């Protein structure tokens, strides 16, 4: 068997017959892998003599590799369903495959593109593509879109034409644009790319300038303009979808733990700020240290109103200040591999979760900072006044105002890594869950306010895990409240001192109780 022709199809009833007719004279077999077309594509292909295999869509690379696996010929000609072999090319292929000594074993063939009824010669569309090779000499990458053809052989060019019928109408272009851009974004998100607005706009603009001016697309008239315009829209849409997918998936492995005790007004503001994040966590776990029914009702109301996000109420009986136990129970319930811990008296800047996730790094836990809101201002905010970054920066009711500035450059320069217990506050921290499990979470022997966070940090340090102190990132606003009872502080200081002295590594009474 000399020549196998391979074609992938999806809803190509208007084209597949013409494509097969142009090549069947020299093909020993025609293999069509169809992606569950909803029109007469399969019926027409079978009528024209092709062997048709209907398979679920796996992406361009995998779909074409499925075709190659089924080809038995000595040579393979791989076509798209909208590509028609010219009579001249048909004769050229016949000579190559019947030659005892062909000039190459891999060939690029010249495409002549037809778009909106016109032959397109400029705008970067007058190109050569790999289409003909000896079986086994070319491999195709498994990328879902923009698959790559890989070969170790010398590639020769064939100037005889494949006529490529690209788009018959604007409607068809836009339909393919939507499908291709979604597949491109899906492929790019695997590399965790997040294009900025400037990148999206500049790439869109450059695509138009390149095609229409630098590559002389204007010489193709109105159709050349349409191709340059809609190709730039394709670029913008692809990167916009990528950006959307990035934010929609960034938090999928992150659990947010919010500690609370009998302050539903503050918890409501905190939860509202969480739901307004650019990146939502996979789940929100309210670590409740024994609040009354009012808090349970609030959490239930948020659960009902926000079914798109998992909200868990982790409650324990009120037996005094037992934040360590409350957090351990919440951490044990967490399904994410990364855990952010905040207090329920914080209002989060909308990039807070995104910042924690993007700044995470193996071998480190993150310590964030906060802005302090005055008593009077806090009450006004609880009563409905909105935070306004520009106005609040010059408002005397806010302290630690540098912590109101979010700036990626300053954050990169001023973020510190160390093993210093100074400034440890569990109101704004994040950890890999495996690191919390390594040290057995919070030490529940520490009860009452104070030192449970420093003692945890100490054990992380002793296990080789450092602190990353964020600046100008992961911003929070702390709602004023009276100081907690500090009657246990002296005892807790002693527990911390002993832990330092004994180089303690694991909590004696900790997370493993809740396995």
Q: Cα separation of 375 and 456, whole Å?
A: 30
Q: Cα separation of 386 and 166, whole Å?
A: 53
Q: Phi and psi of 215, rounded to 5°?
A: -100, 15
CA distances from 238 to 179, 187, 346 (A): 10, 11, 36
Q: Tens place of pLDDT for every residue, the chain, 515 residues?
A: 799 999 999 999 999 999 999 999 999 999 999 999 999 999 999 999 999 999 999 888 999 999 999 999 999 999 999 999 999 999 999 999 999 889 999 999 999 999 988 989 999 887 899 999 999 999 999 887 778 899 999 999 999 999 999 888 888 888 888 888 887 887 777 766 777 888 888 999 999 999 999 999 999 999 999 999 999 998 999 889 888 888 888 899 999 999 999 999 999 999 999 999 999 999 999 999 999 999 999 999 999 999 999 999 999 999 988 999 999 999 999 999 999 999 999 999 999 999 999 999 999 999 999 999 999 999 999 999 888 766 778 888 898 888 988 999 999 999 999 999 988 988 999 999 999 999 999 999 888 888 899 999 999 999 999 999 999 999 999 999 887 777 778 888 888 998 999 999 999 999 999 97
DSSP calls for 11-61: S-TTTHHHHHHHHTTT-SEEEEEE---SSSHHHHHHHTT-EEEE-----HH
The pair of structure tokens assigned to 283 is 């789940």
Contact 36, 54 (CB under 8 A): yes
SS3 label, residue 9: strand
The pair of structure tokens assigned to 71 is 């080809």
Tally of CB atoms within 10 A around 369: 20
């Amino acid at each position: 068997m000399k020549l196998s022709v391979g074609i992938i199809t999806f809803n190509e009833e208007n084209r597949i017959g013409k494509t097969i007719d142009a090549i069947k004279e020299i093909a020993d077999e025609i293999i069509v892998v169809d992606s569950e077309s909803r029109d007469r594509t399969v019926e027409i292909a079978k009528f024209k003599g092709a062997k048709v295999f209907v398979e679920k869509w796996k992406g361009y690379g995998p779909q074409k590799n499925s075709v190659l696996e089924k080809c038995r010929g000595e040579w393979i000609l791989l076509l798209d369903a909208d590509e028609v072999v010219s009579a001249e090319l048909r004769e050229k292929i016949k000579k190559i495959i019947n030659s005892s000594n062909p000039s190459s074993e891999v060939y690029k063939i010249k495409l002549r593109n037809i778009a909106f009824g016109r032959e397109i010669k400029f705008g970067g569309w007058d190109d050569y593509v790999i289409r003909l090779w000896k079986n086994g000499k070319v491999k195709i990458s498994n990328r879902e879109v923009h698959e790559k053809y890989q070969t170790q052989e010398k590639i020769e060019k064939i100037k005889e034409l494949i006529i490529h019928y690209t788009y018959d109408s604007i409607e068809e272009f836009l339909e393919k644009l939507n499908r291709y851009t979604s597949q491109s974004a899906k492929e790019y998100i695997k590399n965790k790319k997040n294009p900025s607005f400037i990148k999206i706009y500049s790439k869109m603009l450059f695509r138009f300038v390149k095609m229409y001016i630098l590559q002389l697309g204007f010489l193709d008239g109105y159709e050349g303009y349409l191709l340059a315009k809609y190709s730039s829209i394709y670029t913008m849409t692809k990167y916009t979808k990528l950006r959307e997918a990035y934010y929609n998936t960034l938090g999928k492995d992150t659990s947010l733990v919010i500690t609370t005790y009998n302050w539903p007004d503050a918890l409501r503001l905190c939860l509202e700020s969480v739901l307004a994040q650019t990146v939502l966590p996979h789940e929100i776990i309210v670590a409740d240290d024994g609040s009354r029914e009012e808090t349970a009702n609030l959490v239930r109301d948020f659960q009902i109103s926000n079914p798109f996000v998992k909200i868990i109420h982790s409650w324990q009986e009120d037996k005094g200040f037992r934040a360590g136990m409350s957090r351990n129970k919440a951490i044990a319930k967490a399904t994410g591999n990364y855990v952010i811990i905040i207090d329920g008296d914080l209002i989060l800047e909308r990039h807070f979760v995104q910042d924690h996730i993007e700044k995470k790094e193996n071998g480190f836990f993150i310590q964030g900072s906060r802005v302090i809101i005055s008593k009077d201002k806090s009450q006004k905010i609880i009563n409905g006044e909105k935070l306004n970054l520009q106005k609040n920066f010059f408002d005397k009711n806010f302290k630690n105002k540098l912590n109101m500035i979010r700036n990626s450059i300053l954050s990169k320069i001023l973020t510190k890594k160390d093993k210093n217990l100074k400034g440890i506050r569990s109101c704004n921290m994040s950890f890999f869950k495996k690191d919390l499990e390594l040290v057995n979470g919070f030490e529940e022997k520490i009860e009452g306010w104070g030192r449970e966070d420093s003692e945890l940090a100490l054990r992380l340090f002793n296990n080789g895990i450092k602190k990353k102190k964020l600046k100008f990132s992961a911003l929070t606003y702390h709602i004023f409240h009276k100081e907690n009872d500090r009657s246990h502080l002296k005892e807790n200081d002693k527990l911390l001192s002993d832990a330092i002295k004994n180089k303690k590594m694991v909590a004696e009474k900790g997370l493993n109780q809740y396995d």
